């Protein structure tokens, strides 16, 4: 489906933020993905036209970063961290429970198009391991049963919140925020006492970068 004129207009607006327009490519790709649920040839061509670069240059970027998808994601993107700390604390069990609950596998969507699963790398949230993400919002300290409960609530159309507060919207809405981060949602709190524990102790002990002992 061709990228709409209103999305092209928003792409031009993003390009105008940067001294060098091609620096806008990453948020522009998120914008294309917010419209088409994946990066399509039409999305690539629209970015190339707006930035006056070749489709091959856009494709090189879109295929390098794993947040850009070449198959339809569906309504919700579900990420499960299975890196070292999350894996040790149950991330693999969470993954197994979610594949069973959705019927989806790595980088594939469920048959009903509701959920797209992905094994993801460390989300810099190890203090709350194991971690899953729903449309890139954190779900901290999950268990197999709490992860499946999130899926079931979303399936029933119930309101679900990240363990850090924000309401879960859907993948396309998140992609639009990644293109236009000035939508006010960035003001939501994103750190807690557990994450700041090391810094708090360092301050209490008067430690600085030069005398950590």
Residues that bind ligand FES (CB under 6 A): 81, 83-86, 122-123, 125-126, 129, 131
Contacts of 66 (CB under 8 A, 6+ apart): 118
Supply the minimum distance, in Å, between the C-beta of residue 171 and ligand FES: 20
DSSP state of 97: H
Which residue number, 7 or 133, has a Cβ lying nearer to ligand FES?
133
CB proximity list for 54: less than 8 A, separation 6 or greater: 48
Residue number with CB closer to ligand FES (122 or 148): 122
Closest to ligand FES by CB, 34 vs 133, is 133
CB of 165 to ligand FES, least distance (A): 18
Q: Are 89 and 122 in contact (CB under 8 A)?
A: no
Nearer to ligand FES, 28 or 94 (CB): 94
Contact 55, 93 (CB under 8 A): no
Q: Where are the beta strands (DSSP E) in the chain?
A: 76-81, 108-109, 115-120, 132-134, 137-139
CA–CA separation, 103 and 151 (whole Å): 12
Closest CB 142 distance from ligand FES, rounded Å: 11
Cβ 110 to ligand FES shortest distance, Å: 23
């Amino acid at each position: 489906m061709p990228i709409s004129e209103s999305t092209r207009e928003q792409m031009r607006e993003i390009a105008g933020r940067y001294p060098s327009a091609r620096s806008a490519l990453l948020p522009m790709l998120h914008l294309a993905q917010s419209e088409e649920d994946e990066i399509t040839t039409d999305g690539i061509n629209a970015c190339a036209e707006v930035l006056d670069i070749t489709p091959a240059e856009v494709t090189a970027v879109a295929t390098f970063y794993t947040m850009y998808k070449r198959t339809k994601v569906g309504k919700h993107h579900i990420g499960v961290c299975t890196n070292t700390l999350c894996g040790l604390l149950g991330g693999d069990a969470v993954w197994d429970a979610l594949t069973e609950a959705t019927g989806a596998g790595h980088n594939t969507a469920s048959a009903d198009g509701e959920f797209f699963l992905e094994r993801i790398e460390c989300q810099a949230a190890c203090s709350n391991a194991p971690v899953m993400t729903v449309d890139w919002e954190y779900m901290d300290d999950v268990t197999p049963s709490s992860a499946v409960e999130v899926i079931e609530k979303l399936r029933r159309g119930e309101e679900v919140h990240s363990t850090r507060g924000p309401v879960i919207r859907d993948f396309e809405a998140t992609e639009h925020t990644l293109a236009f981060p000035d939508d006010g949602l960035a003001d939501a709190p994103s750190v807690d006492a557990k994450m700041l524990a090391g810094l708090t102790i360092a301050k209490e002990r008067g430690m600085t970068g030069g005398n950590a002992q």
